[in-house]
Amino acid sequence: MTEEVIEEIHNKVRQYAKDKGYVLNVDEKQLSAILRGLARNLERFGAAYCPCRLRSGDPEKDKIIICPCIYHEQEIEEQGSCHCRLFFKKKSE
Ligand code: SF4
């Protein structure tokens, strides 16, 4: 897995978080594990599928778990973070 792919995903999710008013996991190790998982899926399967959800193997069905998945907004709203703990709700100041 190339560092460039990880960096590319990092930049993408950082920008996404900024646009949506989320923050990325502040734990460097956890963040790095999630980014690596996304990069691995991108390299292996052609899309950044969620590293903590099961793919069905059907690309049409699995579209919903390409990061950011269809579930994350509700999860962040209800639990404070998405299932993988990549995106977090910003703490109110
Ligand atoms: S749970 Fe989080 S990391 Fe996984 S796909 Fe959804 S938004 Fe991305």
Q: Across all residues in the chain, what is the average pLDDT?
A: 96
Cβ–ligand 1 distance for 17 under 6 Å, the answer no
**Domains delineated in the chain:** 3-89 (3.90.460.10)
Complete DSSP assignment for 31-68: HHHHHHHHHHHHHHHSS-B-TTS---S-HHHHGGGBSS
pLDDT digits (tens, 9 = 90+) for 19-54: 999 999 999 999 999 999 999 999 999 999 999 999
- Measured distance CA(11)–CA(9) in Å, rounded: 5
Give the position, in ligand 1's atom list, of the atom nearest the Cα of 52: 4
pLDDT digits (tens, 9 = 90+) for 55-84: 999 999 999 999 999 999 999 999 999 999
pTM for this entry = 0.94
- Measured distance CA(87)–CA(21) in Å, rounded: 10
- Measured distance CA(36)–CA(50) in Å, rounded: 11
Cβ–ligand 1 distance for 68 under 6 Å, the answer yes
Of 52, 88, 56, 89, nearest in space to 67 by CA:
52
Ligand 1 centroid, distance to 93 Cα (angstroms)? 25
Residue 2 pLDDT > 90: no
Ligand 1 centroid, distance to 92 Cα (angstroms)? 22
